[in-house]
Structure 1
């Protein structure tokens, strides 16, 4: 696996290193030993999938409050997405900064998202499916979010928003929280 640290500390794009032959290829997409040797969370307690019918769908920006803050490994298994994160760690040198990457079934990349970052995505294709590996069991009472268009972060989305949940639209402005 190839690890590329992105603009926020601890945020990594993880690309497989395929071993190809006449049948196709084989590649590791996760290895607990490799992740932990890099100082990353390597063990994940649950996996979840998000399926989205329509191109332009936005989900996010979601996070869980401490002590239930989650580390995630996110991969697009069908279609393509614009995956975005916001650094919400008050002690981080990149507090309130954002980063985004394109994840797709074609590029097979994953995004390693450490605890303390809000996460969301916009689908760039119909029928996009996203696989999440999450280090902690979900605790509903700790779930929170940042509005997808909060001016405090100036996130840009590549397409017009076609679908978004009422919950995601209703998160309050970050400033003053």
Structure 2
């Protein structure tokens, strides 16, 4: 597995080695010891989540606050998605920075997202399956988020706003300056 840094401290792209032969394809999608070595400490995933989204569905930008913050390891099993993370760790060198990457069934890339980052994605194909592991359980009382079109973040989602399919809950999320004045 090849591991690459991003502009956000502690956020990594994982590219698996893919073995192809007459039978098909094999790849290792998770290796705890390799990831723990990279992170310099223990990591225990406790929950796996999966969503299926049609083209132009935008989910996010979500995060869990405080003691319920979650590190995630995400990948697209089917389809394609524009994956977006924002560093919300006030003491981080990359505080308020944005990182985007296309994850897909075609490139097999994964993204490790440390605790303290907001996360969202835009499905680029119908029936895009996004799967991710979390190192903490979901806790409704700690959920929060940043509005997808926050001008401070200036995220280019690649399609006109009018074509985005967004839940009412996500349309009511706050601006970054409201959360971190």
With normalisation by structure 2, the TM-score equals 0.93
Give the C-alpha shift of residue 18 in structure 1: 1.6
Cα displacement string for residues 8-37 of structure 1 (whole angstroms, at most 9, x for unaligned residues): 111111111023333223211101111111
TM-score (norm 1): 0.95
Distance 2:156 2:60 in 1: 13
* Alignment correspondent of 1:68: 68
Deviates more, 1:157-166 or 1:110-119: 157-166
Give the alignment of 1:69-148 within 5 angstroms: 69-148=69-148
| Residue in structure 1 matched with residue 22 of structure 2 by the alignment | 22
Shift of 1:6: 0.8
Moved more, 151-160 or 70-79: 151-160
CA positional deviation for 1:168: 0.7
**What are the superposed Cα offsets for residues 80-127 of structure 1, whole Å, 9 maximum, x if unpaired?**
000001110000111111010000011111110000110001111111
Higher helix share: 2
CA deviation vs aligned residue, 1:54-78 (integer Å, no higher than 9, x gap): x111100000001111000010011
Task: Write the distance in 1 (CA, Å) between the matches of 2:88 and 2:67.
Answer: 14
Secondary structure, counterpart of 1:67 in structure 2: helix
Structure 1 gap ranges (5+): none
In angstroms, what is the RMSD of aligned CA positions?
Answer: 1.3
Confirm or deny that 1:157 pairs with 2:157. yes
Give the match for residue 175 of structure 1. 177
After the TM superposition, list the runs of 4 or more consecutive aligned residues in structure 1 that deviate by more than 6 angstroms: none
Q: 2:66 is paired with a residue of what secondary structure?
A: coil
